[in-house]
Each structure stands twice: as structure tokens, then as C-alpha cells.
Amino acid sequence: MALTTESVADAAMRILSDFGLGDLTMRRLARELNVQPSALYWHVADKQSLFVLLAARMGAEADDLDRPAPGQGRLASTVDAITTYRGVLLRYRESADIVLLAYSHSGPTVLPSALSDLDADTRDFVIPYVLGSIAILQNRRLFAGEPLAPRTTGGGSDGHAEASFRTGLTRLLTG
């Protein structure tokens, strides 16, 4: 049952999706793993670099989910892939705050390829839009306070919010 960087990140992902960012503390994480808080620092430099790990995982998760529909233009499949990413982030409570930090710190490597493959100029206004939209949505949910929420974990669409997201995204991508 030895600790690894992976097992630490796994536990962190679970805490994040089940309880949120407020409960994702190094001490809580250690408790969950039945070790002393100080043990974590052997496997991870500090909390910030744990965030980078988590962000990269969510990016990879979106890449895995994303098999582009055939007979689709470049624009449409990019919009779809980014929307898939949005769906992934929405499953991890305040993930957008984490990704925002991690991206500011480590650059596009923490993002899914749908975003990191864009040319640098496009990235500079698409990424803020994507992360900003999700962050606001997630913080709104946080304040709405769902103590035992009807978490729509099902793959269903998001309704108006998702449609609006796609509209803005399309405007930014069609310069």
C-alpha cells in the first residue's frame, strides 16, 4: 500500500469531485490516505504542483473521450472537443479555478489537445473564455449551495448554458 504520486493524485481527484476545493487540503488528503501530512511532500513538491497534476489529468480525460465525429469540418470538431472538455471539468466541482492556476503556471501542456493545438494567437483569447465560463458556472453552483445536490451526473446536455458557451466559442474561433 505504498504511496505514489499517482495514488495521491487519485485521492485528490476523488475529494475534488465528491466534496469540492474547500475540502481538498493536504491534511485532509493525508487523512484519506492514512498517512501523516508530511508524507505527501515526498511524492509531490507542494499544493500548487498537485494542481498541475490534476489539471493535466482532466485534460487527458477529455482527450480520451474525444473521438471526432466523421464528415465534420475543422471548426465543428474543435467546438465539439472543447465542449467535451467543458463536460469533464463540470464533473469536478471547482476544477476551473485549479486549471486556471495550473495553466497560468505551466502553460498549455495541462490542457486537452483541442486547446493546446490551437495556434498561439487564437489560444490567447479562447482559453480565457473557456476557463472563465466554467469557473463562473461552477462558483455559481457553489454559492447556490447544494448540500445534497441533485447532481446531474448523467451525460445529459446543459441546456441554455451549453448553447451559449458554443455560440461564444464559435465567434472567437471564426476570426
Q: Which residues bind DNA (CB under 7 A)?
A: 2-3, 24-28, 34-39, 41-43, 46-48
Nearer to DNA, 104 or 167 (CB): 104
Q: Tell me how far, at minimum, the Cβ of 74 lies from a copy of itself, in Å.
A: 17
The region of 21-29, 55-63, 79-87, 96-104 touching a copy of itself under the rule CB under 8 A is 96-104
Q: What angle do CA 56, 156, 74 make, to 5 degrees?
A: 60
Place of cell 489529468: 57
Residue 104 binds which entry of DNA, a copy of itself, none, CB below 5-8 Å type-dependent: a copy of itself
119 binds a copy of itself, rule: CB under 8 A: no
Kindly list the distances between the CA atom of residue 131 and the CA atoms of 27, 104, 117, 158, in Å, as whole numbers in the listed order.
28, 11, 16, 16
Stretch that binds a copy of itself, among 16-24, 37-45, 54-62, 118-126 (CB under 8 A): 118-126
Q: To the nearest 10°, the Cα dihedral for 30, 35, 39, 41?
A: -10
User: How many residues at the interface with a copy of itself, by CB under 8 A?
Assistant: 30
Tell me which of 128, 151, 152, 157 binds a copy of itself, using CB under 8 A: 128
- Joined together, the cell numbers standing for residue 15 give 475529494
Closest by alpha carbon to 20, among 155, 157, 141, 102?
Answer: 141
